[in-house]
């Protein structure tokens, strides 16, 4: 199981393919704040709600200096379908090997209906302009989470 990040930690660097197969790196966003959120699977109800909430608030977040990146274990083709089907505007990155998900502490034990298994833990990491972790939120709910982040960040 991966170690959870704490405020003040250096955010692990990453380079992953987006929905179109283009590579995106955390370093591409140097000088801007980045909200990196991890979700279990594209085209599922909770993940769709969360991605739509981020898309609906993207202008507000961008205006406050935040870029938004969603990361899941899905392949780029599935992310492209997700983006098209839901008209998503957030950057979606593919992490099928779960290396970045693990580096950010967003992979580990989950419980569902009394069963314990390993999976993606819905998490949101806010990275500052210098590449340091400003906030690390784990086991977040899909519904209402974006509104809570906006409130917590004072936007």
pLDDT exceeds cutoff 60 at 137: yes
Give the model's confidence band at 129: pLDDT under 50 very low, under 70 low, under 90 confident, else very high: very high
Read off the pLDDT of residues 79-96 as tens digits, 9 standing for 90 and up: 999 999 999 999 999 999
C-alpha dihedral sign at 143, 149, 154, 155: negative
Q: Does an H or E element contain 120, and which?
A: strand 115-120
**What pLDDT shows up at residue 86?**
96
Residue 97 pairs in a beta bridge with none
In the chain, the percentage of residues whose pLDDT exceeds 70 is: 99
Q: What is the pLDDT of residue 2?
A: 64
125-140 burial: b if 16+ Cβ within 10 Å, else e: bbbbeebebbbbebeb
Q: Which two tokens stand for residue 138?
A: 């784990």
Q: The pTM is what?
A: 0.95
The fourth-level CATH superfamily of domain 9-153 is Glutaredoxin (3.40.30.10)
Q: Which residues are catalytic?
A: 47
- Among the listed residues 108, 118, 91, the one whose alpha carbon sits nearest the alpha carbon of residue 26: 91
């Amino acid at each position: 199981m991966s170690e959870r990040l704490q405020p003040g930690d250096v955010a692990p660097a990453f380079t992953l393919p987006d929905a179109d197969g283009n590579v995106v790196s955390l370093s591409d966003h140097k000088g801007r704040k980045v909200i990196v959120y991890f979700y279990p699977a594209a085209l599922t109800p909770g993940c769709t709600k969360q991605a739509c909430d981020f898309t609906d608030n993207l202008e507000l977040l961008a205006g406050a200096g935040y870029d938004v990146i969603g990361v899941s274990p899905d392949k780029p083709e599935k992310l492209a379908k997700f983006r098209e089907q839901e008209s998503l505007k957030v950057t979606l990155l593919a992490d099928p090997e779960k290396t970045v998900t693990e580096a950010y502490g967003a992979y580990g034990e989950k419980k569902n209906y009394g069963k314990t298994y390993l999976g993606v833990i819905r998490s949101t990491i806010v990275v500052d302009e210098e590449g340091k972790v400003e906030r690390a939120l784990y086991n977040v709910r899909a519904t209402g989470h974006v509104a809570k982040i906006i409130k917590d960040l004072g936007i």
